Structure 1
């Protein structure tokens, strides 16, 4: 944290780098550049030496905004809310990450760095909450309206709880575990999806698994600092957990897009009135 930076030796400050304790490491390297002003951060963004870091987060933002809306079959989709939830969920992690990386070197104290972490977590939360709404809606689409809205409301409630925990977390593990309950509910919804009770495009099952499975793996890799903790000092700039996490995020967002587009089209084509569900021994015909 930035407050720990203030206790480092004057020689380290003169060099522009400090060595942080293990529990404060958020990237692969123990050496973190400090002392930037806001203007310095904006100038550093234009330098090629930050291309690998800022480009890693900035390029996906531009690409997603230019391509994802064009890939959504708007003419086949009745609702505009769910597609835009998907666009927000796809681009938000990169916006939070871009702003975090851009200003993480500011020398304005621990709270500024903590706010940047909160901004980064907010982007992830939007992806986990709004980005998952199309999948949640498709899964319960043909249930009776009472069940459908209760499940959606409960998922939104868990997402709000996750946002609160994400904004108040102080450790890498706390920041990741705040998404545990929404994740577990999506697991239950996946089980429902595989039963005769659930909905959703059956051809998108693999992507439904990958969008959460790959994200979970990326979160664990980042929290455990694998593999750089096994090879100290050799992976400060490449092949570290932070690099791996960003690659896995791209894979997860791709799977989320594939699953979402399939579900959006499925919801416009399915005939729920023709579906029957046996509930507690009674056969109910759904009327939407």
Structure 2
């Protein structure tokens, strides 16, 4: 994951983006490394909270640069949307709806951002959704019990899809950062 720092005027976007990309990986590795530790339910629950914290961070921090760029020419709407991130942590349904609104803004031309990044963000969300659904429905273990206990089970597939999703988030952000360097809102 690299960012052309010399091309970026707003460095905070790059920092937040890096934190979003790395947080689920770091926290998930920590959880998986110690999940077999025999310390009882309280230790396991704490470790699971680390894993979920990484998921919350990627959803929240990953959205901040996208919100900033999509609502670039609407500073008051941008402030309200960014402040609502605390509330968005409380419900994934709200996150999906909020991302859909940002998508509609970009599709209709009311929102800003690189036209090339939209396809990458759609792929990102699709991969994340499919990874979650595979994990929830326990595919392929449900179809062939016992055959996928160690390799290519739903949990592993979900992690692969999440990593791919994060890569698409990164590529979309690179497109937006390049676009942002040369864009000025009308009337500026």
- Shorter chain as denominator, the TM-score bin is over 0.9
For the pair 1:123 / 2:54, whether they are aligned, the reply is yes
TM-score, normalising length: structure 2: 0.94
For the pair 1:132 / 2:45, whether they are aligned, the reply is no
* Aligned Cα root-mean-square deviation (Å): 1.3
Post-superposition shift, 1:93? 0.9
The answer to whether the 8 A contact 2:67-2:78 is kept is no
State which of 118, 133, 138 in structure 2 corresponds to 1:220. 133
Q: Secondary structure at the match of 2:59?
A: helix
State which of 12, 16, 38 in structure 2 corresponds to 1:85. 16
Q: Provide structure 2 residue ranges, at least 5 long, that are not aligned to the other structure.
A: none
For the pair 1:159 / 2:85, whether they are aligned, the reply is no
Deviations 1:211-257 (A, max 9, x none): 11110111111111111012111111112101211211121011100
Q: Provide structure 1 residue ranges, at least 5 long, that are not aligned to the other structure.
A: 1-67, 162-177, 274-285
> Which structure has more strand as a fraction of its residues?
1
Q: Distance in 2 between matches of 1:247 and 1:119?
A: 19
Q: Which has the higher contact order (CA 8 A, sep 6+)?
A: 2
Post-superposition shift, 1:159? 2.9
For the pair 1:104 / 2:35, whether they are aligned, the reply is yes
> Which structure has more helix as a fraction of its residues?
2
The answer to whether the 8 A contact 2:27-2:54 is kept is yes
Q: Distance in 2 between matches of 1:237 and 1:87?
A: 31
Alignment match, 1:181? 94
Q: Distance in 2 between matches of 1:214 and 1:269?
A: 30
How many residues get paired? Answer: 188
TM-score, normalising length: structure 1: 0.63
Q: Distance in 2 between matches of 1:209 and 1:75?
A: 27
